[in-house]
């Protein structure tokens, strides 16, 4: 049985859905599924982009009227530089 969590982001506008999804995924163990529900049309662009950028796997995208549902498998957290150049 796969562990799947749900994140209700309905009613939030850009950039909040992607920021909240990113934060939720960062707290999950690798391999955990997260079903993200959003109504912001920009989520259709932002969530897949965030997955590709952060190393998560987007396994399903569904649209039901205004509702968008993204099923994401949490990946390993990207390594951040210890001393980023400014």
Residue written as token pair 């999804």: 21
Question: pLDDT value at position 60?
Answer: 97
Give the CATH number for residue 24: 3.30.110.40
Q: Is residue 79 part of a domain?
A: no
What are the strands of the beta sheet with 57-64, ordered from one edge? 4-9, 33-38, 67-73, 57-64
Lowest mean pLDDT among 4-13, 36-45, 56-65, 75-84: 75-84
Q: Is residue 29 part of a domain?
A: yes
Mean pLDDT across the stretch 60-67?
97
Q: Is residue 83 part of a domain?
A: no
Q: Exactly one of 14, 35, 42, 71 is catalytic; name it.
A: 14
- What is the spatial distance between Cα 60 and Cα 58, in angstroms, rounded to a whole number? 6
Residue 5 predicted with pLDDT over 90: yes
Cβ count near 24 (within 10 Å): 18
Is 51 an active-site residue? Answer: no
Question: pLDDT value at position 1?
Answer: 44
* Tens of pLDDT, residues 17-48: 999 999 999 999 999 999 999 999 999 999 99
Question: pLDDT value at position 80?
Answer: 59
How many domains does the chain fold into?
Answer: 1
Range of the domain at 15: 4-73
């Amino acid at each position: 049985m796969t562990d799947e969590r749900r994140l209700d982001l309905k009613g939030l506008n850009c950039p909040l859905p992607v920021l909240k999804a990113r934060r939720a995924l960062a707290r999950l163990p690798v391999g955990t599924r997260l079903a993200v529900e959003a109504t912001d049309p920009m989520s259709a662009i932002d969530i897949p982009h965030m997955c590709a950028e952060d190393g998560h796997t987007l396994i399903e995208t569904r649209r039901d009227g205004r509702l968008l549902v993204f099923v994401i498998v949490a990946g390993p957290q990207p390594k951040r530089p210890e001393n980023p150049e400014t």
